[in-house]
Amino acid sequence: MRISVIGCGYVGLVTGGCLASVGHQVTCVDVDPAKIRMLEAGKIPIYEPHLEEIITTSRREGRISFTGDLPRTIREGEAIFICVGTPPLENGEADLSAIDNVARVIATEARGPKLVIEKSTVPVQTGQQLKRALEVYGKKAEAKFQVVSNPEFLREGTAVLDFIHPDRIVVGVEEESAGKQMREIYRPILEKKFVCPIHAGSCPPGAPPEMIITTINSSELIKHACNSFLALKISYANVLADLCERLGGDVEEVTRAMGMDPRIGPYFLKAGIGFGGFCLPKDLQAFVRLAERAGIDFTLLREAERVNRERIEQFLAKLRRALWVLKGKQVGLLGLTFKANTDDIRFAPSMEIIRRLLAEGASLRAYDPQAMEKARAVYPTVNYTVDAYEAAAGADALLIATEWEEFRSLNWQRVRDSMLRPLVMDGRNLLDAAKMTALGFEYHSIGRQN
């Protein structure tokens, strides 16, 4: 089946790249000519492990191409994945204008039957609107549309792995035949019949993933429900951390034991300076607004949002308690991305930390293995250093905002000797508290007794 992918952002590139790498013929289209030029020149505009190699191999083998020609891409594709952005509006709702635009072009350009698949994260009932738009604007009698919802559950940093070895594939359809076509598209993944670009022929054993067929509305709800639940779990762990700090206890010990209960599970219980990134905060907000408009009280999620917002303030309050006055102090910052193994700084806790520290008159030296240029574009007055050691040198305090593995294995003795005052505020509980104290650091972390 010929596949078209509309939108060469994060989701589009991972979707297009992975579908090509399991054997499909894929054309990816984007309105940004600079992005297309870059992709045609063999460069990938985002950092995501394995993505560059799968796209390069698929291009060489003629299975993936990039273009700016939307009408042609639509005419050629039998299955069209919509992967355009749905950024938050001022009021927290998702901006669906890009999807609306694409729907109108699909409607007017399509000449034959098309499977129109919404991959972008959208609020429930978007599929209904999409179907109506395709019908209203569709002029050609031979064009027949089937709308499908197929949410992605990709985590930045492991997106390729998540796509080709998913926990489950969720597909929302109106007609059975659309489900059959989706099964065809995902057959190599469902049957684990592809040359795995990650495990080189020795994928970890395990049952093949299941394709869950639901209604379109349920499928759209599943995506928001998952991300909001993950956000709830993190905020829960963060409130536990507050309790541990106040009343005695170690949040790492508490959440580890909690996670061993299979009803709870070990993931997303890591306390820290809160969740960021372009998905969790925005999806949580959109879900709250959606519930509000439907007349459903989802205060539970509002609280998760509030707890998350408070993280930075609490972290900086600890720093203030230790440093007394921030104005004129030199602060080192390790980690700029919203989590490790990505170059994404959108809604990263580090960005808010920088904003507040600069506003209070501290001088900042920051280092990140991947995101220096992106951060420089947002905060040009920060001194970006060549490595973590330089960020720490001469500092009154060193903050850890991202759990990069490279920070764990620093020569911490060297770091200590270079600092003006050996004060470390670990916002991700990355380091061993006992070891840091033994090394002579004044060490503070989250929800632990130090």
Q: Which 8-state DSSP code applies to residue 393? A: T
Tallying the residues shown for the chain, one arrives at 450
- CB of 417 closer than 8 Å to CB of 444: no
Q: Among all chains, which residue has been given the structure tokens 């939307």? A: 70
Q: Among all chains, which residue has been given the structure tokens 């280092």? A: 367
- CB of 88 closer than 8 Å to CB of 14: no
Least distance (Å) between residue 227 CB and ligand UDX:
6
Least distance (Å) between residue 336 CB and ligand UDX:
12
Report the residue number, 279 or 362, with the smaller CB distance to ligand UDX.
279
Least distance (Å) between residue 279 CB and ligand UDX:
3
What H or E segment, with its residue span, contains residue 424? Answer: strand 423-426
Helices (H), 2-117: 10-21, 33-40, 51-60, 70-76, 97-109
- CB of 216 closer than 8 Å to CB of 149: yes
Structure tokens that stand for 305 in this block? 């949002």
Report the residue number, 25 or 308, with the smaller CB distance to ligand UDX.
308
Fill in the amino acid letter for 330: Q
Q: Which 8-state DSSP code applies to residue 154? A: P
Least distance (Å) between residue 75 CB and ligand UDX:
30
Least distance (Å) between residue 329 CB and ligand UDX:
26
* Residue 279 falls in the annotated catalytic set: yes
Least distance (Å) between residue 275 CB and ligand UDX:
3
For the chain, the farthest-separated pair of C-alpha atoms sits apart, in whole angstroms, at: 76
Among residues 28, 83, 244, 279, the one annotated as catalytic is: 279
Distance between CA atoms of 280 and 155, rounded to whole angstroms? 10
Q: How far is CA 36 from the centre of its chain?
A: 22
Report the residue number, 251 or 280, with the smaller CB distance to ligand UDX.
280
Distance between CA atoms of 231 and 275, rounded to whole angstroms? 7
Indicate the burial class of 95 (C-beta count within 10 angstroms; 0-12, 13-18, 19 or more). Answer: middle
Structure tokens that stand for 23 in this block? 């054997």
Q: Among all chains, which residue has been given the structure tokens 């594709």? A: 77
Report the residue number, 66 or 407, with the smaller CB distance to ligand UDX.
407
Least distance (Å) between residue 45 CB and ligand UDX:
17
Report the residue number, 213 or 269, with the smaller CB distance to ligand UDX.
269
Instruction: Give the 3-state secondary structure of residue 18.
Output: helix
Report the residue number, 228 or 330, with the smaller CB distance to ligand UDX.
228
12 Cβ partners below 8 Å, 6+ apart? Answer: 5, 6, 28, 30, 81, 83, 84, 119
Report the residue number, 50 or 270, with the smaller CB distance to ligand UDX.
270
Helices (H), 260-341: 280-293, 299-323
Contacts to ligand UDX by CB under 6 A: 152-156, 227, 230, 234, 268-270, 272, 274-277, 279-280, 338-339
Active site residues: 279
